[in-house]
Structure 1
Amino acid sequence: MKYDSAATRARLLAAAHDEFVRVGLAGARVDRIAAAASANKQAIYAYFGSKEALFDAVLAARLQVLADVAPFDPGDLPGYAGALFDALVADPGVQRLSQWKMLEVPEPSEGEVDAHVTKAAALAEHSGVDLTTATDVLMIVFAAALSWNSTASKIRNPLDDDNSRRLTQHRAAMVRAVAALTDALLEKP
């Protein structure tokens, strides 16, 4: 049987994703990842170098999927926030990975910094504001898009068990809030 290194690498990334979402970087075990991927532990080190580098690769891959699903549009921040929100609700593992990253490795990677700076620069150019203001606005947009979680899903009218309606209402309120905040913050003097 011919060895397929691309398939092994893909299986390792998928198994690592599940492990990291479930227990974070510190709780993850390379032997569990390797077993779930039908690979050996040495393959993790050969492809990624370390468990930490594997975590970074998993997070980068998931963030790229998120960027593809919710492309950044500096001219429509409420629409971008809504698309991010939808993507995060559809794949809560991305939010969970990001939370593990903030808890366990608070320093942003070069890729994370580059992605944010690129978006902030595009927003600054589009809106005619400085880079600091654009960065602050983006942080508000990201925070709003991350607003749906298990707690938010339970804060609703106790007589109403329709969680899908609650999700729709929350999303609409979040998009309106982003529109109001970004309009105010990007307002030219």
Structure 2
Amino acid sequence: MAYDAEDTRRRIFAAAADEFAAHGLAGARVDRIATAARANKQAIYLYYGSKEKLFAAILRAKLEEVCASISIDPDAVAESVGQIFDWYQEHPELIRLLLWEALEVCGEPGEGDPERRAAFGEKVHHLVDGGFARHLPDDARVRAIQDLLFTVMGLIAWNFAVPEMCRLVLDEETYPAALARRRETVIEVARKLATTPDASLPPP
């Protein structure tokens, strides 16, 4: 059978995503990734260069995946937030990767920073083009929407970052029950933020 380089890359990527989500950058082991991917370590270094670059590539790809899967509709922000909430629930590895990044890589410029910044910028300008917060001057409008976007991201992500706290604070027996409540609450908060910008967005 001929060697399939693209299939090998996919296997390495999938195995590395699981390894990094479970152990972080420092705790991940290239030999475990190679074993899980049914590949040799040399292939990992050949295709990705280093463990750090592999981690960055996986995180960048996961963020691109959610950006491509979900678009925030300026006329239906709350509904879009519900879809994003569901995406995070179906892909718990992204939150774990982001938490590992915050613990181990935060503060260090990354190779994928320009692409990630541009992707978030596209989301902001999509809302600008859709007429969101049109009562504000252009510069203040962009900054207000950036703040809104990050606030909404926090409202969603925190539920998955601290599942036990979510369950205990809401006094639910199970985490799924707590998540169901949180989904409704997050959507309602997003709806209020989107429909009352004067009260919810910071002044310029």
TM-score normalised over the length of structure 2: 0.82
Note the C-alpha offset of 1:144.
1.1
Partner deviation per Cα, 1:23-73 (whole Å, 9 max, x = no partner): 111111212111211111111111111111111221122223323432332
- Output the CA distance in 1 between the equivalents of 2:174 and 2:36: 36
Tell me what 1:124 maps to.
Answer: 128
**2:197 is matched by which residue type in structure 1?**
L
2-side partners of 1:34 and 1:94: how far apart? Answer: 21
Cα separation, partners in 2 of 1:124 and 1:34, compared to 1, 3 Å: same
Q: Deviations over 1:87-144 (max 9, x none)?
A: 1112211111111122222246222111111111111232124211110110011111
TM-score (norm 1): 0.88
- Say if 1:89 and 1:148, in contact at 8 Å, map to a contact too: no
Aligned counterpart, 2:58:
58
**What's the counterpart of residue 18 of structure 1?**
18
Q: Which range moves more in the overlay, 7-16 or 23-32?
A: 23-32
Q: Number of paired residues?
A: 187
1:182 to 1:49, Cα distance in 2 relative to 1, 3 A? same
Distance in structure 1 (CA, Å) of the matches to 2:24 and 2:122: 28
**Matching residue of 1:133:** 144
Q: Does structure 1 residue 42 correspond to structure 2 residue 46? A: no
Same amino acid, percent of matched pairs: 35
Q: 1:186 to 1:13 in 2, by over 3 A?
A: farther
Report the aligned-residue RMSD: 2.1
- Structure 2: runs of 5 or more not aligned: none
- Does 2:153 correspond to 1:142? yes
Q: Report the CA distance shift for 1:186/1:67 in structure 2 as closer, same or farther (over 3 A).
A: farther
Counting only pairs closer than 5 Å after superposition, residues 1-189 of structure 1 correspond to structure 2 as 1-106=1-106, 107=109, 109-126=113-130, 127=132, 128=134, 129=136, 130-149=141-160, 150=163, 151-157=165-171, 161=173, 163-185=175-197
